[in-house]
Amino acid sequence: MNPASCENSFLNMDSLPMGIMVLDRQLHVCFWNACLESWTGFSRQDILGRHSGELFPQLGRSLVVSRLKDLFDGAPPAVFSYHLHNHLIPARLPDATMRLQHSMAYGLRGPDGDISHVVLSLQDVTEIHSRLRENLRVQKDLERENRLRKKVELKLRELATRDMLTGLINRRSFLGLLAREIRRARRYGHTLCLMALDLDHFKRLNDTWGHLAGDEMLKIFATVCQDALRDIDHIGRLGGEEFGVIMPETTPDGARVVGERLLKAIRNLAVRYDGSVLRMTASIGLACLEPDEELKDFLLRADRAMYQAKLLGRDRLEDAPGGTCSQCLIPE
């Protein structure tokens, strides 16, 4: 079939809103529709009868030629995406950028039932790709904003639950955790111990060396305590130089061992500051949860035992009496 006759056979494809090129068995162009004329600037007269590979280098590649020739032998349609076959037929947009084309080639059977031609259709996906790319950009921006929001939320949660100076949980978080541990201990029949801890003569240290020195000591003290305590223990700053330690599933004897180790670690602490060595000690009160004891009574018994330790000379641990605080040295 000569180019003119071939062209007349496919004129019904001329008005399609996509590029249509028809090739014969020798891969010569025998139809070139109006859309391709508009996209490429090549008129039909310039294209018809010429070899497709000579006109467009991408169509002359061995892989593409092989796929096109296989179509004449009944192979299924071949897809040439713009990802793998950039600009199969170069076509510029008004802004001089190259048009992205998704291409499909398929065999066309003649009256005798044999495949006589291959139709190569090209769909402009530039706008679709641009929208997908914009959607991906928006998605990445949203993901970035979401990560930032989560970081901010985490920071706000930390600010609400952590003591800014020492990094320990604050009083509110400590009391909430203590309430949960009390409920858990009662539910499963576990023991629960609580230590109230106060640094000795801390006001004197602040008055002598200043609040910056005091802050530095508190930060180092918090680190030392965390290293001395067990993984299951929880320490929090209750205010000023007062701290609390929650000891789940711990017997009184076990709690005393941890408390003495903690006192020793604090006693051995030496901080160089402004040419001097600063030291500190602490007083600890230890209470173990009693049946039906309320949180405030539990905390008060540990607190009064701590004051008892101070009255008995500081740098020591004292057990809280059971029941009410009537046996404590500090009156209610």
Q: Return the CATH number at 311.
A: 3.30.70.270
Any domain includes 149: no
pLDDT in tens, 297-330: 999 999 999 999 999 999 999 999 864 333 333 3
Residue 7 lies in a domain: yes
Residues 200 and 54 in one domain: no
Q: How many CA atoms lie within 13 A of 277 on its CB side?
A: 4
What is the per-residue pLDDT across 176-231, written as a single tens digit (0 to 9) for each? Answer: 999 999 999 999 999 999 999 999 999 999 999 999 999 999 999 999 999 999 99
Count of domains in the chain?
2
pLDDT of residue 131: 84
Does some domain include residue 144? no
pLDDT at 331 over 60: no
Tokens standing for residue 288 = 């173990």
Q: Do 10 and 82 belong together in one domain?
A: yes
Q: 137 in a domain, yes or no?
A: no
pTM of the model: 0.58
pLDDT digit string (tens) for 133-191?
788 888 898 888 889 888 888 877 777 889 999 999 999 999 999 999 999 999 999 99
**Co-location of 179 and 309 in the same domain:** yes
Domain interval for residue 265: 164-319
**Does one domain contain both 84 and 200?**
no
64 within a domain of the structure (yes/no): yes
266 and 179 assigned to the same domain: yes
Q: Is residue 143 one of the residues assigned to a domain?
A: no
Query: Could you tell me if residue 35 is inside a domain?
Result: yes
Q: Do 203 and 303 fall into the same domain?
A: yes
Residues 116, 187 within the same domain: no
Dihedral pair phi/psi, residue 80, rounded to 5°: -120, 100
pLDDT at 86: 64
CATH number, domain with residue 91: 3.30.450.20
Catalytic site positions: 241
- Closest C-alpha to 123, from 198, 39, 245, 247: 39
